Amino acid sequence: MKIAFLLHNAYAIGGTIRTTLNLAAALCDRHEVEIASMMRHREQPRFAVDPRVTLVPLVDTRAGRGDAERPEFHEPAEDFPAQDKRHHQYSRLVDLRAREYLKGCDADVIFGTRPGVNVYLSLFGPPTALRIAQEHLRHDAHGKELRGVLARHYRTLDALVTMTEADAVAYRSRMRLPGVPVVPVPNIVPAPRGVVPSDGSAKVIAAAGRLARGKRFDLLIEAFGKVAGEQPDWQLRIYGGGAQQERLQQLVDARELGGRAVLMGPRSPIEPEFAKASLVVSASDAESFGMTLVEAMRCGVPVISTDCPLGPAEIISDGVDGRLVPVGDAPALAAAMLDLIGDGSGRRAMGSAALESARRFDPGPIVTRYESLFAELGTSRGRRYRRRTRARYAASLRRRLRRPARQVRRWRKRLTTRLRAWRAA
């Protein structure tokens, strides 16, 4: 079987890129795998790509490659939805190259990996292939207008895959997709190679992610201020880059945590850094999955996370392999850190449990789930098509039945207006 993935930019850094490459590598054991990258901006991808995976860049933005000189490159995208926040990064040339690639694609299964790219899959994906949209963002992270666009396009696909059961429930209840199963399948997070699990003795707390508002590193720094007052030997290391870096450094300086709370910059892979820590903490307001949580657990490190929607509660068993605390609650976050700092044996036991629990995200079981999905979608194609057709005709009938009622209301309003004008005269 040949399987293709559509990625925004396989040459950049990001959670969706990393998880797609993990899944592609795992599928290579039994299938032919290809990744179409909408764009290419550098010579080599930042993440390692399995040599068995064929990487196909569609638009090359590097100097001297010619694509940036084409007039379509400077025209706004028409097929990529304007409601997607990445619309400004797309051009008419990307539209045309995506159409060309998909029209000629001979894959048996094609995955889209972000909303706008899933629209390409809906518009141009060959009907002979199983067309599957992956949602690496939460349903509620999309604006109302974008959700309306996605609903129209997702109804034409074969399946929608979410990263968590909670998000699958949200899509099933809030986006009507007749004949399109919404299936939760978590990301693959393979065991890191050459990384010795933490022994829980280092007086280091680690955190990682984009330095963005929603990740709430400001809350983490606030909570660590209390930890630092009671446990002066412990250090906080924050890994990542982003727009909030200057603001976060100002918070560190204002709380006089210099040398205690350190912005370490981006690291890839992150696992060797997690293995140097005894705790990993996430203070996010929301997570569609929570890759860094599993990566930390893979290193035998217990994780403290806010119980935010949607992923952490499906990853962490509170009190067993980590801790869950209320969202936005700095005192609770600090208390959880201090509890585990003060309980060395409990912390190490929790780290061992985390290491074992993380096996749920091994490649084998997740590939099996995908292969079962492919088989089910193949056998249910006719039944799902009939269900979609019935739903489409029912919707059309409802619209027609509403027309006379709307017409009567218009006539009544018009007549009322004229009567009022006559009486006033």
Q: Which of 234-238, 327-331, 379-383, 411-415 has the lowest average pLDDT?
A: 411-415
Q: At what angle do helices 115-124 and 92-103 cross, to 10 degrees?
A: 50
Q: What angle (nearest 5°) sits at the alpha carbon of residue 161, between those of residues 133 and 287?
A: 110
Q: Which of 154-168, 179-193, 359-373, 403-417 has the lowest average pLDDT?
A: 403-417
| Average pLDDT of the residues in 343-366 | 96
Residue range 212-239, pLDDT digits in tens: 999 999 999 999 999 999 999 999 999 9
Residues whose CB is less than 8 angstroms from the CB of residue 162 and which lie 6 or more positions away in sequence, other chains included: 135, 139, 168, 171, 182, 183, 184, 185
Q: Across the chain, what does the average pLDDT equal?
A: 94
Per-residue confidence band for 318, with pLDDT thresholds at 50, 70 and 90:
very high
Q: Which of 90-94, 286-290, 392-396 has the lowest average pLDDT?
A: 392-396
Query: What does the pLDDT read at residue 421?
Result: 73
Residue 396 has pLDDT above 70, yes or no: no
Query: What does the pLDDT read at residue 408?
Result: 62
Residues whose CB is less than 8 angstroms from the CB of residue 409 and which lie 6 or more positions away in sequence, other chains included: none
| Average pLDDT of the residues in 73-83 | 97
Cβ atoms 301, 348 nearer than 8 A? no
Q: What angle (nearest 5°) sits at the alpha carbon of residue 70, between those of residues 68 and 71?
A: 115
Query: What does the pLDDT read at residue 320?
Result: 97
Residue 346 backbone dihedrals phi, psi, to 5 degrees: -65, -40
Task: Give the burial class of 42: count Cβ atoms within 10 A of its Cβ; 0-12 exposed, 13-18 middle, 19 or more buried.
Answer: exposed
DSSP state of 215: G
Residue 92 has pLDDT above 70, yes or no: yes
For domain 2-184, the CATH architecture is 3-Layer(aba) Sandwich (3.40)
Residue 134 has pLDDT above 90, yes or no: yes
Cα(181)–Cα(262) distance, integer angstroms? 45
Query: What does the pLDDT read at residue 399?
Result: 63
Query: What does the pLDDT read at residue 405?
Result: 63
Residue 292 has pLDDT above 80, yes or no: yes
**Sign of the Cα pseudo-torsion (22, 115, 92, 123, in order):** positive
Residues whose CB is less than 8 angstroms from the CB of residue 229 and which lie 6 or more positions away in sequence, other chains included: none
| Average pLDDT of the residues in 310-321 | 95
Cis peptide before 137 (omega within 30 of 0): no
Query: What does the pLDDT read at residue 224?
Result: 98
Tell me whether the CATH fold assigned to 2-184 matches the one assigned to 204-361. yes
Per-residue confidence band for 425, with pLDDT thresholds at 50, 70 and 90:
low
Query: What does the pLDDT read at residue 198?
Result: 97
Query: What does the pLDDT read at residue 256?
Result: 96
Cβ atoms 255, 221 nearer than 8 A? yes
| Average pLDDT of the residues in 260-273 | 94
Residue 172 has pLDDT above 90, yes or no: yes
Task: Count Cβ neighbours within 10 Å for each residue of 272-290 and write b for 16 or more, e otherwise.
Answer: ebbbbbbbbbbbbebbbbb
Domain 204-361 has CATH 3.40.50.2020: no
pTM of the model: 0.86
Residue range 368-387, pLDDT digits in tens: 999 999 999 999 988 887 88
Residues whose CB is less than 8 angstroms from the CB of residue 393 and which lie 6 or more positions away in sequence, other chains included: none
Residue 407 has pLDDT above 80, yes or no: no
**Sign of the Cα pseudo-torsion (373, 376, 378, 380, in order):** negative
| Average pLDDT of the residues in 176-189 | 95
Residue 251 has pLDDT above 90, yes or no: yes
Cα(326)–Cα(349) distance, integer angstroms? 23
Cite the DSSP H helix spans in 240-362.
245-254, 271-274, 291-298, 312-315, 330-341, 344-357
Residue 22 has pLDDT above 90, yes or no: yes
Q: Which of 12-16, 263-267, 318-322 has the lowest average pLDDT?
A: 12-16
Q: Would you kindly state where each structural domain of the chain is located, as residue ranges? A: 2-184, 204-361
